[in-house]
Amino acid sequence: MDTTSIPINWFLMLSTALFVVGVAGVLIKKNAIIILMSIELMLNAANINLVAFSVYNNDASGQVMALVSIGLAAAEVALGLAILLNLNKLRDTVNVDDLSILRW
């Protein structure tokens, strides 16, 4: 890795911040669509890590993993939106607090 490029720490800080925002979003937000977006943030934080480490370790496999995981994330969103659409059709809500039929 050449010395002029950005130090690895900066990438790690960015990805950690994104990941924390994602986890906080999943835990705090009530709207299932926003929760889905927060999950995307978590996955993208991991992708930043993979690409940064791939350059830093001089090993291309990290970038391949990032590409595969982008594909996985896309599939997950498509499926997630379909499930939420169906939920919205049945219950007329995507608020996770209203999902209380199944408990104890």
Please give the residue ranges that form the binding site for other proteins (CB under 8 A). Answer: 15, 19, 22-23, 26, 32, 35-36, 39, 42-43, 45-47, 49-50, 52-53, 56-57, 59, 61-62, 65, 68-69, 72, 75-76, 79-80, 82-84, 86-87, 90-91, 96, 99, 101-104
Q: Which residue's CB is nearer to other proteins, number 5 or number 102?
A: 102
Q: How far is the CB of 59 from other proteins (least distance, A)?
A: 7
As a whole number of angstroms, the distance between CA 37 and CA 35 comes to: 5
DSSP 83-102: HHHHHHHHHS--BGGG--SS
As a whole number of angstroms, the distance between CA 25 and CA 42 comes to: 10
